[in-house]
Amino acid sequence: MELTCATVDVPLERPVRAGRLVIDARQYCCVRARLADGAEGAAFVLTRGLDVAASLATVVLPRLSHVDGLRVGLRNLGWDGAISRAAAAVTLALLDAGARSAGEPVWRLLAPDVPVPAVVPAGVAIGYAPVENDASATETGEAALAAEGGAAWVKLMGGPDPEVDLARLRRVRAVVGEGVGVALDVNGAWPVPLARQWLPRLADEGLAFVEEPVPYELGLDTVRALAGVRRPPLALGEVCASVIELEALAATGLVEHLRPDATVLGGPEPFARVLAATAGPGLVPHFWPEVHRHLVAGFPGAAVLECVAPGAGGFGLERFVDGLARLTGGGVTVPDEPGFGYRLDWTVVETLAATPPTTYRTGDP
């Protein structure tokens, strides 16, 4: 088996802002897997500034005598970090290659006896506005596109100022009407006292949910910090790399929407363990619908995928990924072609890579 790894820096065509944060580039760790029979698969994970490639070389690959060994060795990684993202990149690329070798879509390998809907319901994240544009016009335009596409909800990227966000939410609500939910992603920006003050007001607005209203570092203590507060439904879990912590969040009965991310958890196997232990909360995987549309195939509860508005351009994936998931008919189509249904343009990957890709060979087929 052969694995090739490259870290790519993708400049955005137009810098975007989310709250006070200005983003002018995205960085991904890309992995290509080639099996002994010649089948190839690929995966990409957002690095968030972490040295994922180094963790792949020094921690993941030495454990890769066989895939089961990788699963056992990295089963509970705790806080989001480079190791779990490296493990995800490798295992997702191997799964893609294995499915292509078998001539099957990934979902059929994972849940062969489960009928999979042609389309999984989806919501749309909005609010990555080009710096030079009127942010309100961008947000309302993306919200209108999402509503026209039948989105279950639109989720606005929040900032540190709740007063400003409330005005933005009301503008978006006026555009999408009552048939589409409106949510707010605070991205951990509010101190606990501010969250306790504002969540009741957001409840009065009838939000579909509020995501990560307090600092990520609180983890499971978020539920305790917000105990007794009247609030909209709560969405948590996007940066959690611990299956145990996600299970504990689900078990509280106070988290309405659980947000596991296979690229943060370490790949498809820990993601499946979260699904198996989840009863009660709805499942809203954190972004990357190209992957998650396959991994929710065997989930018996309600799952809603997350995507972005067409042409939003906040992630730069269009530069090197063919076959990105799009909102169509109220959801994301589950492809029936072999593998995950997307391909990395490795020529572009090599162009964007800061250093030449590194190839590793193992004795595993």
- Say whether pLDDT at 365 is over 80: no
Residues of 16-48 as b/e, b for ≥16 C-beta within 10 angstroms? Answer: bbbbeeeeeebbbbbbbbbbeeebbbbbbbbbe
Regarding whether 123 and 96 lie in a shared domain, the answer is no
Higher pLDDT, 20 or 336: 336
Q: Is residue 315 part of a domain?
A: yes
The pLDDT score that the predictor gives to residue 299 is: 86
Would you tell me how many other CB atoms lie within 10 Å of the CB of residue 112?
10
Per-residue confidence (pLDDT) for residue 106, from 0 to 100: 97
Query: For residue 44, is it within any domain?
Result: yes
Asked which of 24-28, 149-153, 156-160, 206-210 is least confident by mean pLDDT, the reply is: 156-160
Identify whether 85 is part of a domain. Answer: yes
What range does the domain containing 62 cover?
2-109+343-361
Q: How far apart are alpha carbons 57 and 52 in whole angstroms?
A: 9
| Same-domain check for residues 302 and 185 | yes
Same domain, 324 and 348: no
Q: What is the pLDDT of residues 113-140, one digit of tens each?
A: 988 889 999 999 998 766 666 778 889 9
The CATH number assigned to the domain holding 288 equals 3.20.20.120
What are the φ and ψ backbone dihedral angles of 300, each rounded to 5 degrees?
-80, -15
Same domain? 97 vs 153: no
For residues 32-39, average pLDDT: 96
pLDDT of residue 130: 66
Exposure on the CB side of residue 157, measured as CA atoms within 13 A: 20
Which one of 35-39, 129-133, 311-315 scores highest in mean pLDDT? 35-39
* 305 shares a domain with 167: yes
Tokens of 236: 């948590």
* 338 located within any domain: no
| Same-domain status, 102 and 129 | no
Domain co-membership, 267 together with 307 = yes
State the pTM of this model. 0.93
Residues in the chain: 365
Q: Which long-range contacts (CB under 8 A, 24 or more apart) does 276-283 make?
A: 277/243, 277/246, 277/247, 277/250, 278/246, 278/247, 278/250, 279/250, 280/250, 280/253, 281/249, 281/250, 281/255, 281/256, 281/257, 282/256, 282/257, 282/258, 283/257, 283/258
Instruction: Tell me what the pLDDT averaged over the chain comes to.
Output: 90
Find the mean pLDDT for residues 231-258.
Answer: 93
HSE-CB for 233 with a 13 A CA cutoff? 18
Whether the per-residue pLDDT at 223 is higher than 80: the answer is: yes
What is the domain count for the chain?
2
* Residue 180 pLDDT class (50, 70, 90 cuts): very high
Report the pLDDT value the prediction gives residue 364, as an integer from 0 to 100. Answer: 55
- Residue 289's pLDDT band, with cuts at 50, 70 and 90, is very high
**What is the C-alpha end-to-end distance of the chain, expressed in Å?**
5
Residue 172, CA atoms < 13 Å, CB-side half-sphere: 34
In terms of domains, do 233 and 299 share one? yes
Residues 243 and 326 in one domain: yes
Mean pLDDT of all residues in 290-314: 89
Domain CATH code at residue 45: 3.30.390.10
Scan for tokens 């006292």, then name that residue.
Answer: 193
31 and 105, same domain (yes or no): yes
Structural domain includes residue 13: yes
**Residue 308 and residue 242 share a domain:** yes
Assigned domain for 130 exists: yes
Mean pLDDT calculated for residue range 144-152: 95
Q: Which residue has the higher pLDDT, 131 or 180?
A: 180
pLDDT of residue 78: 53
> Are 344 and 29 contacting, i.e. CB atoms less than 8 angstroms apart?
no
Give the torsion sign (CA, 213, 150, 106, 27): negative
- For residue 200, being part of any structural domain is answered with yes
In a shared domain, residues 289 and 356? no
